[in-house]
């Protein structure tokens, strides 16, 4: 391996910059092929779920019911993990002996392997990136002669679009409003769950409830979110910023504000 002077030591790990090199290559001829897809906790981001459910051609509701389990994070909000099969090895449901059946739309956690981010809130604010190599003793791919740069690997694995899509999600989950308290209100938890993970239900909520009568939403945005899941995702994040963080990214219609004011005065 090319020994790069920019590499740093952190807690016994070699911490890599985007320009640094590492060795790795995975292919079907390796004895350990797909072994990393067993008995592992894979956290799913909202964009992971969007891509995976569309790849399978099923609704978000059906995908969540069939392929995920729910955990509760430190802020009291739901977190989704991929549900492994109920076999003795707890295999990923999308992996066969020949590899991943949803490979073009595999989750972020699978794409980044064998790298793992060594970032903090400070490094994210400054735009700095650091990575380490996962400690996976059985992985023969780590003994390969093929050398890649961290930045080159990230680009090749299609990480940039995931990073771009998750920026809005992280803006919410890493906000100090949430980090300083635990949410126990079930209605808020369900609002968050629907907007983040159950996009098809969120679309119905926007289109079939009184939502569009209460909020000012540009006509072109309404048309986009009717059919485009990516546009719908971005709109869902705006709604969470408004409802969860109290930020004015959505505007209530003047007549609704007036009606609420009059109702309050008449009480």
Is 122 or 214 the better-scoring residue by pLDDT? Answer: 214
**Annotated domain spans of the chain:** 8-169, 183-265
Residue 47 pLDDT: 97
**Is 265's pLDDT higher than 80?**
no
- On the 0-12 / 13-18 / 19+ scale of CB atoms within 10 A, 240 is buried
Of 11-15, 38-42, 50-54, highest mean pLDDT:
50-54
Residue 237 pLDDT: 96
Spatial CA neighbour of 192 closest among 237, 229, 247? 237
Residue 75 binned pLDDT confidence (cut-offs 50, 70, 90): confident
Say whether pTM exceeds 0.85.
Answer: yes
- Lowest-confidence pick of 3-12, 86-95, 166-175: 3-12
Residue 123 pLDDT: 64
**Is 12's pLDDT higher than 80?**
no
Helices (H), the chain: 46-56, 60-67, 108-112, 121-126, 150-156, 159-173, 176-179, 186-196, 199-208, 211-214, 219-227, 229-245, 254-265
Residue 9 binned pLDDT confidence (cut-offs 50, 70, 90): very low
Q: Looking at residues 139-150, what average pLDDT do you find?
A: 95
The chain-wide mean pLDDT, for the chain, equals: 89
């Amino acid at each position: 391996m090319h020994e790069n002077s920019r590499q740093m030591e952190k807690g016994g790990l070699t911490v890599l910059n985007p320009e640094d090199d590492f060795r790795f290559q995975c292919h079907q001829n390796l004895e350990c092929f797909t072994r990393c897809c067993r008995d592992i906790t894979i956290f799913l981001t909202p964009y992971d779920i969007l891509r995976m459910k569309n790849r399978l051609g099923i609704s978000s509701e059906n995908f969540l019911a069939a392929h995920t389990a729910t955990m509760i994070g430190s802020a009291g909000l739901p977190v989704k993990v991929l549900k492994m099969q109920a076999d003795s090895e707890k295999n990923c449901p999308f992996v066969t002996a020949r590899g991943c059946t949803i490979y073009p739309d595999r989750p972020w956690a699978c794409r980044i392997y064998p790298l793992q981010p060594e970032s903090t809130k400070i490094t994210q604010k400054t735009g700095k990136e650091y990575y380490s190599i996962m400690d996976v003793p059985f992985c023969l791919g780590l003994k390969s002669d093929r050398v890649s740069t961290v930045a080159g690997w990230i680009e090749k694995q299609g990480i940039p679009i995931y990073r771009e899509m998750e920026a809005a999600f992280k803006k919410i989950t890493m906000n100090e409003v949430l980090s300083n308290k635990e949410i126990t209100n079930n209605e808020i938890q369900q609002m968050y769950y629907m907007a983040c993970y159950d996009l098809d239900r969120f679309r119905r909520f926007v289109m079939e409830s009184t939502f569009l009568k209460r909020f000012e939403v540009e006509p072109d945005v309404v048309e986009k979110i009717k059919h485009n899941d990516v546009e719908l995702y971005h709109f869902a994040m705006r709604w969470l910023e408004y409802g969860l963080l109290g930020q004015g990214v959505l505007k209530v219609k003047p007549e609704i504000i007036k009606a609420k004011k009059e109702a309050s005065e008449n009480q």
